[in-house]
Structure formats: structure tokens, C-alpha cells
Structure 1
Amino acid sequence: MKDQVEKLSRIPNVRAIYRDGIEETDRIIREGALDYLFGALELLVGDSSFREQLHHFSVSTIVVDEFHTIASWGEKDEEDRQAFRKWFSYLGELRSVFPEASLLALSATCTRKISKRVKKVLNCRDNTLEIPMSPDKPNIKVVTKKLANSVDQGMAWMVDALDSIAKTVIYCNSIQDVSKLYVYLTSEVPNSVNYCEMFHSETPKAKKEKMLNDLCNEDGLLKITIATSALGMGIDVPKTNNVILYGVPQQMVKIIQEIDATEIYEEQDEFDAFMSSDFEFE
């Protein structure tokens, strides 16, 4: 969300803000000095005092990005354990606060089954318009290779090319696999500690932000990012040529999410031209 706020803020006369719980940010929001408000559900819906403030806003559109997470994170799991982030299942309450507002829900990896469940949470009407699109992209080539079931045998090919490899994201199914790969690569090529890092749910927040800033910088030093699915869902990493899935995810949704996690621009000029275009908001 911070990444999106930064990009919107580059557009002349557009004011975007991310609610992070800091008093100064809340002051700006209370004064209404914004056009776009971003925030996690815990802060937008779960904070009762802030929800009262929302009643004073004139909201034309509610946007829900990655709406498939409402089902996977906002509901109890198959073993009846508590929801990972319960406020996701309360998102529909925003529609009662702003009954005249339009709702735009977006997802690159939503299945039909999840869509039906999520539409109930969002209180969607029967005439809701759905626009399905293929996740296939012409600039993505998928290659599979069966490797030996050991880190050293499976990743030996990468050691040989590590110093010259282009910016690469390696996705693993567990933090343990992330650690194994990191230890292996940095042991085999000690110099790689300068451009290889781990990103997962236990990575300190300050380090995550530093890594994300480096990843989004075309001239950043970080070349190899070994991560779990904690890295993904909308991050734009320019000049990323390789996404490696170390161990196939058990769900097709996760496979698509990981191989399609980064928006790849052939040239940085394309991105700059896109961001400097004239926008019209209705």
C-alpha cells in the first residue's frame, strides 16, 4: 500500500495517504486533506473510533485489492482455528457506512468458489458486474525442471551463475526452506551476502522496508531475494527477469500469485512514461 501511495503522489494534484496509526497521519486524515485513503482492515474497520470519523467523509468508491484474501485470511480454516485476520470478514460493513459508494474488488488469483464466498461478505448485489481476465502474460515464460531432493544438488546450477545472474526472486514454501537456501548460497559464494537476502513473516519490519525500497530501485544492490509468500501481492520490481519456485505450492492460486507477483517492465522508460501520463478521474 505504501508503494501505491508513493506512485499516486507523483501525479499532480492527487493527494494519497496511508493510515499507519501515527498521530500526525491521523491528523491529516481528520482534516480531510486527501483524495485516496489506504489502510489495513484492522485500522479502517477494526478501529471503532476511526470508523466513526469515516461517517464524515464523502466517499465515492471503495476499492478492495487482493479480495481473495477475505476468504483465506478472514474465515476460520479447515481445522476450525481462528481466522488469521478476522476483520477481513467485516469488510462489508463499509458498504453500510457508504451505501451510495461504488465497490471495486480486484484479484489476479481468485477462483469461482472463492468469488461466491467473498461476494456475500461484500454484500454484493445480484447485478454485480464481473470482468474475468486471463492471468497469462506474453512476457512470462514458464519452465519446469525436476531436481534432486537436496539443496546442494538441486541448486548447484545457480551457484555457477550467481555473480552474473539478473535480479531474481526465489519463492519457498516455508521459512525453513528459505533459511536452507540462503545458508547454502552464501556458503558456496561468500560474496553473495552483499546482494542476497531473506524475506518472510519473521523478518523485522525495518529490514522488510529496506529490502522493498532496494527491490523497487532499478539500481539497488539486492539481486537475490529468497522469500515465502510474505513477499508478493502487487509489489512492482523493475528489471526482474527470473522468478523461481523452490518447491511447487499446493494450491494453483499460490502458483499464479508467485509467478505473477512482480510487474515486469521491459524498460524503465516505459514505467516513467506511464507514471507521467495525464490522468482523468471521474
Structure 2
Amino acid sequence: MTQALQVLQKYWKHNSFREPQEAIIQSVLEGNDTFALLPTGGGKSVCYQVPGMVLNGITLVISPLIALIKDQIENLQKKDIKAIGLVGALSIDEISDLLDNCLYGNYKFLYLSPERLQQDWIIERLKQLPINLIAIDEAHCVSQWGHDFRPAYLKIKLLKEFFPTIPFLALTGSATTLVQQDIIEHLGLENVAVFKKSFERENLSYHIIETEDKLTKISQILTKNPQSSIVYVRNRKATVDTCNQLNALGFKATFYHGGMSFQEKEKHRLLWMENKVQVIVATNAFGMGIDKPDVKTVIHLQIPENLENYYQEIGRAGRNGEKAFGILLTTQYDIELAKRLFEENIVTKNFLKDVYKKINNYFQIAYGEGYLQQFNFTIQKFCSSYNLPVLKSLNALQFLDRQGILTMENVSSEKVKVQFIIPSKEVIRYISLNTNVEPILTVILRTYSGIFDQEMPINLELIAKKSKTSIEQIVKVLQELHEKEIIDLQLLLNDSKIVFNEVREDDLTINRISKYLENQNKTKQDRFTEMISFIENQSTCKNKLLLRYFGEEITDDCGKCSTCLKKKKTDVKDVVSEILASLKKSPLNSRELESSLGFTSEEIIFAIQTLLEKNIISLNANHQYYIK
């Protein structure tokens, strides 16, 4: 293991492995098939990247997430490690060139999606590579009982025939006992070494708090814990609205969602990563690849779909080992709403067929055609065209993606077409009178000489780089010029890119995959029921419930979750004593008392009522309590 440790120190700048990374890497280096269950933050990628660097040849990494593949490749390249990925809508020639690079270019890592293995010619090319290890990330996708089943994962077992002496390493961050058994069986792992890290996070406490005034409760939490925090919300609009509300209350906050451009995401992410803001308000698009050790609180304002997602998201808190909190703010209405939304957004076979036909019609794909055609795509526009519900349609398209029928990739691109409609001398005069736009317009005029004669597509990233400004500022300037009738402007915003992986066959396609849809819906229903039970159960320790879900049994209560704290409810005398001590300094209202003392609102209210009844305190004109 000396060489593995040297690799870790050289490329990852760590002096030691986390438990049980070292044992997993040792198993792989000994040539064993290995299964590793490492909950979020456990450092899964190091378990294949370090042995991949130690062994001669190239490591094949199979991952279902294009964004994660790109992120991993970028991180490796920053370490001067050669990595390549077969991602996006690549032609056969482009894929062939990339595989030639793997063969002759001394690359150490080749990433691809499981769907690529369904192409026989790619398998033939892989046979020619000096593969030293096959790593299967998100391995729970091989199980029909997993929360993200992808049939293409079932093809991975075939690689055993072609690489019988190469070790397989299956990695997952969340898997029940049943799913763990499925992974080992369906991947064909032989004499497998199994490593599991406990899901217990001793420094993390779980709190379900019922409150009608969520904003006030967030304010109290962030005031009491002024360290770095994440607030998860359901949709993009809520990220912006909640962020604005927190800023108005005096907190430094930013937001993050899947519809933002890469530049915007990176800008907002860095504000939070560098602690220039305390809070990032985000959808669940945020978090992949984020390893910020000093996150103190993760707050959910809506109910997650399942305990796997919930555990992964709250698991971003407390990675430095210090005390941290996972908090879900809810009401009975939220629970009823979540149940209704869940039922409304379950994708039936008929709805899936309808969406599949309409997405083909939307892009004018004829029956029997469409193979490897790709299109820019905005789901809101698509749904608006056919009067379809957005979330349910997105669920349908994501299911088609997991089945390999199509690939939907978040790109958040901005395509801009511009033509100047006033003479060039008038543009120069405008620049002289508005020097703030000079860098941007000068670059555009120099780069696109025919822009007065015809409408031309312009590259925002190139202009931003040359003018040393941001894409957001360029768009703002162009919109102002358009309003002043100086230019004609077409600004096309795309959330996604869609690639059709099969020819259009309508009923044949949907009938073939409908059995997987039925299994998925049953699995989703079971997991959602477990999530609601976790929230509503007020008698069992939250830590016990969560660990039990993942197949771990413990005897002792954690003593710090919301359920445990209610069990050892604070003596009212202690609350009364602290309230009186605070009111001796100055009059305070109930919210101020709750915020400063840290007791629950129920404890504060009960103590105040006791003091009022005994005529010890009274209420002034400002609705503040004071000692008589």
C-alpha cells in the first residue's frame, strides 16, 4: 500500500485514507472483485482512482451521470492525470478517435455511460485496451429495487466474459440489503470482498420541526448557527424568492438551480464555497461533487421524495466532524400536499406513451427515424406547446433517459443571434456617448464583420473572454440595444440537450419498457411511504429510523434528534428562569426569546403563559414582555 499512499499524497494532497478506503484499495490491487457501500461524503472516487494510477494500463469507469463524468474528468485533468469520456452525441468517427487516444495516448481513465456497452463495436474496441480495473459507479442502478434502476446496467455483467481476470469494483452511496444482494448478483461479482461503512453520522442530528412560519424559523436557525448552510427548496422560482427573503432579513445568501448557465452556477457556487455568503438556496440540482467541510446546517423546506435523497442531501453537513444539523421544516399541509403531488406526478404507461409520441412530433421525427439525432430543448416550451404538466413530463423524459431510449443532458446554453439595424457610423457615435458598453461592442464589431449585413450567431463565451466581462453583462447590454432599436436580437435559452438513441417506434418502444415502469412506480411508492413515516413517527429516534431503513440496527437512542429531545423535555422551571434572566436586561417578544434562548416555541409559550398567570410579567404596547 506504500505506492497507493504515495499516489494519494502526490495527487490528492492527503496524508492518509479515510476508513475504509485503504482496505477497499488493497482488495482491488490484489485483483479481487469488490463491493463498496460508502454513504455520501465517503470518498468513493478515490477508491478506483488511486488503484487506477498504481496499476499499469487504463481504468474503465461506468457511470450513469454525464454531469458527474464531466466533473470527474475535469478534476483529474486539474491534477495532470489524463482522463477521457465518451459523453454527449458523438459520431462513430469521434468515438473511434477517442478510443484511439486511449490506446496510444497513455490515458489512465476512460469514462462512459452503461448505454455505450449496448453497442457491440464499442465492446470490440474496449477489448483492445489495456484495461486494469472496471469501476461501476452508482451500482444500485443495476437493481430493479434500487431508486434509479437503469436496464443498461444489466449488460455490464457481459464484460466478465471479455475481461475474466480484471477486478470489478462496484460502488454505491445508498443501497438497502436487498439492493446490495442484487448488485453482487447482477454484476456477476465472484468471491467478492464486501466493504460497508456505517450510515451513522455521530456528529449529525436530525430534526423534524413543525412550523407555520418557516422563514422566521430559518432566521432563528441561521442566527443561532451563523456558519455555512444549505437551504433546499422544491423549484427554481423558490430558490430566488427564498434567497431574496433571506437577504432582506440581513443574511448573506445566493441561489443555485439547474436552469442557470454554467457561468452563473460557478459564480454563485464560489460565493458560497469561499464563505462570501452564509447560505446557498438550491434545488436538488446542487450538491453533486460538493465537498465543503464546514457546512453547519442543511435545511429542507419541502419533503424529499425518498430517504436516499434526504440522507444524501443532509449528509453534506458536518463533514469536518463537528456538530451539525439536518433540519426539515414541515406542516401537516406539507405532508398532504406531498402526497397529492406524488400521486399526480406518477407516470403511467399511457402518459409515457403520450409524451414519447409528442417529443418525437415536437422535433418532427418520422416513424422509423431519429437515430442519434440531437436537439436543444427547453422543457417549459415543450410542455406549453402540448399543454402538458411540467414535472410529470420531466419524470417521463427522465425515465426514457434511464431506459436508454434518449439522453437528456442539462446544458443551460444561450444561443444569441444579432444584426445591427442602424449604420456603422451611428453605432460608433453611440459607443462614444456610452463608454460603459465600449469593450463589449468593440469586440463584437471586430469579431463579426458581416453583422451589419445579416443576422449572425455570436459566441457569448468568446466575447466575454475578449472583453473581460461576464455573459450576464453582455446579455444585458444586448437587450438594452434591442429595446433602443439598434439591433435585432434573438436570445434562445435552452435548459437541455436531447439525443435520440433509437429510431422512433412508438408502441413497440413503450411496450418493451413498460414492465420497468411498473416496477419503478412500486419502488417509488414504497420509498415515499417510508419518507412520510420517517416524518410522522414521533416515538422512535430519528437516527434509529434512518439506520434501520439502510439495514442497520442500533440499541441506543441518539439523544439529540427532534424525537429524543421531546422525550427529555426541558423542565419548565429552567425555561422560566432563563426567560426572567433575559427580561431583566430588556423587554422581548416571544420570537426574540425563542431565538436567543434556543428553546422550542412550545416551551417558550408554555413558560410565558405560566408567568402571565402568576402576574410576574406583562405585555407592553410593542407586544414585548417585561417584568412587573
Partner of 2:72: 4
Q: Is the 8 A contact 1:179 1:198 kept in 2?
A: no
- Whether 2:171 is the aligned partner of 1:106: answer yes
Partner of 1:64: 136
1:234 to partner: Cα distance: 4.6
Partner of 2:298: 243
- Whether 2:214 is the aligned partner of 1:154: answer yes
1:104 to partner: Cα distance: 0.9
User: Residues 142-221 of structure 1 correspond to what in structure 2 (within 5 A)?
Assistant: 142-149=205-212, 153-159=213-219, 161=222, 165-172=226-233, 174-175=234-235, 179-180=237-238, 182-187=240-245, 189=247, 195-200=253-258, 203=259, 206=262, 210=266, 214=270, 218-219=273-274
Query: 2:198 is matched by which residue type in structure 1?
Result: S
Q: Is the 8 A contact 1:235 1:262 kept in 2?
A: no
SS state of the match for residue 185, structure 2?
helix
In 1, Cα distance between equivalents of 2:126 and 2:211: 55
Partner of 1:87: 152
Distance 1:115 1:88, change over 3 A: same
SS state of the match for residue 135, structure 2?
strand
SS state of the match for residue 308, structure 2?
helix
Computed over aligned residues only, the root mean square deviation of the Cα atoms, in angstroms, reads: 3.8
Partner of 2:204: 141
1:62 to partner: Cα distance: 1.0
- Whether 2:101 is the aligned partner of 1:28: answer yes
Cα distance per residue 1:162-210 (max 9 Å; x no partner): 8x943322234x43xx53354134145359998422324xx35636863
SS state of the match for residue 37, structure 1?
strand
Q: Is the 8 A contact 1:186 1:192 kept in 2?
A: no
Partner of 1:276: none
Distance 1:184 1:19, change over 3 A: same
1:54 to partner: Cα distance: 1.0
Q: Is the 8 A contact 1:30 1:53 kept in 2?
A: no
Partner of 1:280: none
Unaligned runs of 5+ in 1: 76-84, 268-282
SS state of the match for residue 179, structure 2?
helix
Partner of 1:52: 124
Query: 2:207 is matched by which residue type in structure 1?
Result: T
Distance 1:168 1:93, change over 3 A: farther
Q: Is the 8 A contact 1:91 1:122 kept in 2?
A: yes
Q: Is the 8 A contact 1:41 1:91 kept in 2?
A: yes
In 1, Cα distance between equivalents of 2:182 and 2:87: 29
In 2, Cα distance between equivalents of 1:208 and 1:4: 20
Cα distance per residue 1:119-167 (max 9 Å; x no partner): 2321223x222112202244x4214141325xxx1132334648x9433
1:114 to partner: Cα distance: 0.8
- Whether 2:212 is the aligned partner of 1:131: answer no
Partner of 1:259: 314
Q: Is the 8 A contact 1:169 1:242 kept in 2?
A: yes
- Whether 2:101 is the aligned partner of 1:41: answer no
Higher normalized strand content (fraction of residues): 2
1:117 to partner: Cα distance: 1.9
In 2, Cα distance between equivalents of 1:41 and 1:193: 44
Q: Is the 8 A contact 1:8 1:15 kept in 2?
A: yes
Unaligned runs of 5+ in 2: 1-68, 323-628
Distance 1:249 1:191, change over 3 A: closer
Partner of 1:80: none
Q: Normalised by the size of structure 2, how large is the TM-score?
A: 0.33
In 2, Cα distance between equivalents of 1:235 and 1:110: 21
Partner of 2:85: 18
Query: 1:131 is matched by which residue type in structure 2?
Result: F
In 2, Cα distance between equivalents of 1:208 and 1:48: 40
Residues matched between the structures, number: 244
Higher normalized helix content (fraction of residues): 2
1:11 to partner: Cα distance: 4.9
Q: Is the 8 A contact 1:233 1:261 kept in 2?
A: no
Query: 2:152 is matched by which residue type in structure 1?
Result: W
Cα distance per residue 1:251-270 (max 9 Å; x no partner): 33233222224783479xxx
In 2, Cα distance between equivalents of 1:55 and 1:182: 49
In 1, Cα distance between equivalents of 2:136 and 2:193: 15
In 2, Cα distance between equivalents of 1:93 and 1:212: 43
Larger Rg: 2
In 2, Cα distance between equivalents of 1:10 and 1:89: 33
